Amino acid sequence: MKNILMEMGRIAIAYSGGVDSSLLLRVAFDVLNDSVIAITARSDTTPLGEFADAITFARQIGVRHILVETHEMRIPEFVQNSPDRCYVCKKYRCEALMTIASQHGFCVIADGENADDGKDYRPGSIAARELGVRSPLSEAGLTKDRVRALSKMLGLSTWNKPALACLASRIPYFSPITPEKLRQVDAAEAFIRSLGNIAQVRVRHFGDTARIEMDVKAMIRMMEPSIREQVISFLKQLGFVHVLLDLEGYRMGNLNPGR
């Protein structure tokens, strides 16, 4: 990965604050120093906690960090939520980041896609490749497990951070995406994580029904009477009428076609 980064030269990293892009940013900054900038997009689809984490991490390592507001909710094709939603979003967002990067003298964009990501349904990756965005982690053959191992070895606080995808991924295809739905999902997941020992969680938004997915071990804690009652009460305050626990547990991309 270091060799790939050195060959790339000056690069702008699309930085989300997650496990993958944090490792990429740290190594890139170690190798290239001031020839690296981080650009973080903020929109209604971004978990609030993730945005805050990105700012904190970039400040800690000392990299130049640029924040940009993106407005996916203004794109009808995205709001309609068809199966190519991620393609539409990624193309728009990458183009926005490329414009910002160019204004600061950077022509190459890199993202944090790893070698495992190609196994999932990711139309957004197609858009990124079409625009020439590079993925050094994937190019170096680094899987998610390897990314976490390397992050731990480097002492990064993100090494065991749970995966946090775009909030729109909680809404079934063809169900229109709205700011209210995104806020409900973000608040619900943040509350559940705040209860402790529940890291990986998804709240799928089915209209008036919230379907909770989490690691199987965490279900035991979820079924503790006091925890269960708190979750039900909070999610109903958010506007959900029914609160369901998916006994199959968390599955990445569970709402994707073919699942």
What is the CATH number assigned to the segment(s) 167-245? 3.30.300
The 10s digit of each residue's pLDDT in 179-208 is 999 999 999 999 999 998 887 899 999 999
**Mean pLDDT to the nearest integer, 99-121:** 92
**Mean pLDDT to the nearest integer, 11-39:** 96
**Mean pLDDT to the nearest integer, 79-102:** 95
Q: Is 254 a residue whose pLDDT tops 80? A: no
The more confidently predicted of residues 36 and 49 is 36
Q: Is 252 a residue whose pLDDT tops 80? A: no
The domain limits of the chain are 2-153, 167-245
Query: For position 197, what pLDDT does the model report?
Result: 80
Query: For position 54, what pLDDT does the model report?
Result: 95
Q: What is the 3-state secondary structure (H, E, C) of the chain?
A: CHHHHHHHCCEEEECCCCHHHHHHHHHHHHHHHHHEEEEEEECCCCCHHHHHHHHHHHHHHCCEEEEEECCHHHCHHHHCCCCCHHHHHHHHHHHHHHHHHHHCCCCEEECCCCCCHHHCCCHHHHHHHHCCCECHHHHCCCCHHHHHHHHHHCCCCCCCCCCCCCHHHHCCCCCCCCHHHHHHHHHHHHHHHHCCCCCCEEEEEECCEEEEEECHHHHHHHCCHHHHHHHHHHHHHCCCCEEEECCCCCCCCCCCCCC
**Mean pLDDT to the nearest integer, 123-136:** 94
Q: Is 165 a residue whose pLDDT tops 90? A: no
Query: For position 259, what pLDDT does the model report?
Result: 53
Query: For position 97, what pLDDT does the model report?
Result: 95
Look up residue 2 and give its two tokens.
Answer: 């270091």
**Mean pLDDT to the nearest integer, 214-231:** 92
Q: Is 39 a residue whose pLDDT tops 90? A: yes
CATH fold, domain 2-153, is: Rossmann fold (3.40.50)
Query: For position 121, what pLDDT does the model report?
Result: 80
Query: For position 162, what pLDDT does the model report?
Result: 87
Query: For position 120, what pLDDT does the model report?
Result: 75
Q: Is 257 a residue whose pLDDT tops 70? A: no
Backbone φ and ψ of 245, nearest 5°: -110, 120
User: Across the chain, what does the average pLDDT equal?
Assistant: 93
Q: Is 50 a residue whose pLDDT tops 60? A: yes
**Mean pLDDT to the nearest integer, 121-130:** 91
